[in-house]
Amino acid sequence: MNKLLSKLKKGQQGEVVRIEGEAGLKRRLASMGFLTGVKVVVEHSTLWGDPKTYSVCGCLISLRASEAENIVVEC
């Protein structure tokens, strides 16, 4: 099932299907390892549930919900 990465809870994971949104952010996300087919795991959440950290390509990356909602994952 396709979901937005921002909707995933801590401990859940998914595979990147596509990245939407503004071209600049898309490129930056891709350069940080958010690429089609890559597995993403939600690692930590803050008090407010935003931002969260994600592990992708062996790295821990922090994203705000407004950034994570551009990433569509299959889980």
Partner 1 sequence: MSQEKNFRIALVGNPNTGRTTLFNRLTGSRNTTGNYPRVTVGVHEASFEHKGWHISIVDLPGNYSLSSQTDEELLTRELIFNKSADLIVDVLDMGKLERNLMLASEMIEMGVPCLFALNMKDEAEAKGIRIDCNTFSKLVASPVLEISARSGEGIEQLKDAIVSLAEQDEQKESVRIGYDDHLEATIRSISTHIEMLHPEEFNQAQARWLAIKLLEGDESVLRQESEHVALMRAVNHDREVLEKQHGEDAGMMLNNGRFGFVNGLLLEVREIDTSEQVSRTDVTRVLDSILLHRFLGLPLFLGLMWLIFEATFTLGIYPVDWIIWGVDGLTNVLNSTLPESMFKKLMVDGVLAGVGGTIVFLPNIVILFFFIAFLSESGYLARAAYLVDRMMHAFGLHGKAFIPMVTGFGCNVPAILATRTIENKKDRLVAMLVTPFMSCSARLPVFILFSGAFFAEHAGKVLFGMYVTSVVIALLTAVVLSKFFIKGANTSPLLMELPPYRSPTMNSIMVHMGANALSFLKKVGGIIVVGSTIIWFLQTFPQEVPLSKDYGKEIHTLQKLPESENRDRMITDLSRSRDAETRRGSYLGQIGGVIQPIFKPLGFDLNSSIALLTGFVAKEVVVATYGVLFAQGENVTHEDKTLQEAISETMTPLTAIVFMVFVLFYMPCFATLAMLYRESASLKWTAFSVVISMVVAYSLSYSITVVGGLII
Note the residues at the interface with partner 1 (CB under 8 A).
Answer: 10, 18-19, 23-33, 35-38, 43-48, 50-51, 53, 57-64, 66-67
Q: What are phi and psi of 42, to 5 degrees?
A: -80, 120
- Burial class (CB within 10 angstroms; exposed 0-12, middle 13-18, buried 19+) of 23: exposed
CA–CA distance, 41 with 8 (Å, rounded to integer): 9
Least distance from partner 1 to the Cβ atom of residue 16, Å: 10
Tell me whether residue 1 or residue 9 sits nearer to partner 1 (CB atom).
9
Least distance from partner 1 to the Cβ atom of residue 68, Å: 10
In three-state secondary structure terms, 11 is coil
Tell me whether residue 17 or residue 75 sits nearer to partner 1 (CB atom).
17
Least distance from partner 1 to the Cβ atom of residue 1, Å: 19
